[in-house]
Structure 1
Amino acid sequence: MRARLMEATVELLVERGFAGTSTTLVSGRAGVSRGAQLHHFPTKNDLVVAAVEHVTDVRGAELAAAAERGLPRGDRRTRAVLELLADHFTSPVFTAALELWVAARTDESLRAAVVPLEQRVGRQTHRMTVELLGADESRTGVRELVQATLDLVRGLGLADTITDDTDRRRRILDRWAAALDQALAPGSAS
Structure 2
Amino acid sequence: MGMTKFDTNQSSYAVQSAPGRQAAKSAEMRRRIYEGATRVLAETGYHNTSINRVVKACAITPGALQHHFPAKLDLMASTAEFLLSRSVRWFAQIKHELSRGPEGLREALFRSWREQFRTAEYAALLEILFAARTDLPLKERITPALEDWRTGIERELAALYPDDAPRAEVEVGLTISRALMTGLLVHDGLIGDETRMDDVLAAWNRIVTR
For 1:99, give the aligned amino acid: E
Match of 1:82 among 85, 109, 118: 109
**1:153, distance to aligned residue in structure 2 (A):** 2.2
Q: Give deviations 1:54-74, integer Å, cap 9, x for gaps.
A: 233234424443556x78945
Structure 2 residue 103 is the aligned partner of structure 1 residue 55: no
The 1:35–1:139 alpha-carbon spacing in structure 2 relative to 1, beyond 3 Å, is closer
- Which whole-Å CA distance do the structure 2 matches of 1:66 and 1:141 have between them? 18
Match of 1:11 among 39, 42, 45: 39
- Which whole-Å CA distance do the structure 2 matches of 1:120 and 1:10 have between them? 20
**1:30, distance to aligned residue in structure 2 (A):** 1.3
- Which whole-Å CA distance do the structure 2 matches of 1:64 and 1:46 have between them? 27
Structure 2: runs of 5+ lacking an equivalent: 1-28
CA contact (8 A) 1:104 1:111 kept: yes
Structure 1: runs of 5+ lacking an equivalent: 183-190
The 1:59–1:153 alpha-carbon spacing in structure 2 relative to 1, beyond 3 Å, is same
The 1:92–1:37 alpha-carbon spacing in structure 2 relative to 1, beyond 3 Å, is same
Q: Give deviations 1:15-50, integer Å, cap 9, x for gaps.
A: 111111111121222122212211210110111221
Q: Which protein has the bigger helix share?
A: 2
- Which whole-Å CA distance do the structure 2 matches of 1:65 and 1:32 have between them? 33
CA contact (8 A) 1:52 1:97 kept: yes
- Which whole-Å CA distance do the structure 2 matches of 1:130 and 1:178 have between them? 25
Calculate percent identity across the aligned residue pairs.
27
CA contact (8 A) 1:8 1:26 kept: yes
Match of 2:61 among 30, 33, 38: 33
The 1:74–1:62 alpha-carbon spacing in structure 2 relative to 1, beyond 3 Å, is closer
CA contact (8 A) 2:51 2:72 kept: yes
- Which whole-Å CA distance do the structure 2 matches of 1:122 and 1:83 have between them? 21
| Number of corresponding residues | 180
**Structure 2 match to 1:118:** 146
- Which whole-Å CA distance do the structure 2 matches of 1:156 and 1:39 have between them? 38
Give the structure-1-normalised TM-score: 0.77
RMSD: 3.1
CA contact (8 A) 1:79 1:174 kept: no
**Structure 2 match to 1:168:** 196
For 2:110, give the aligned amino acid: E
**1:128, distance to aligned residue in structure 2 (A):** 5.0
**1:168, distance to aligned residue in structure 2 (A):** 2.1
The 1:24–1:148 alpha-carbon spacing in structure 2 relative to 1, beyond 3 Å, is same
Structure 2 residue 178 is the aligned partner of structure 1 residue 150: yes
CA contact (8 A) 2:52 2:62 kept: yes
**Structure 2 match to 1:108:** 136
**1:164, distance to aligned residue in structure 2 (A):** 3.1
**Is the partner of 1:18 in helix, strand or coil?**
coil
CA contact (8 A) 1:23 1:44 kept: yes
For 1:76, give the aligned amino acid: E
- Which whole-Å CA distance do the structure 2 matches of 1:169 and 1:9 have between them? 27
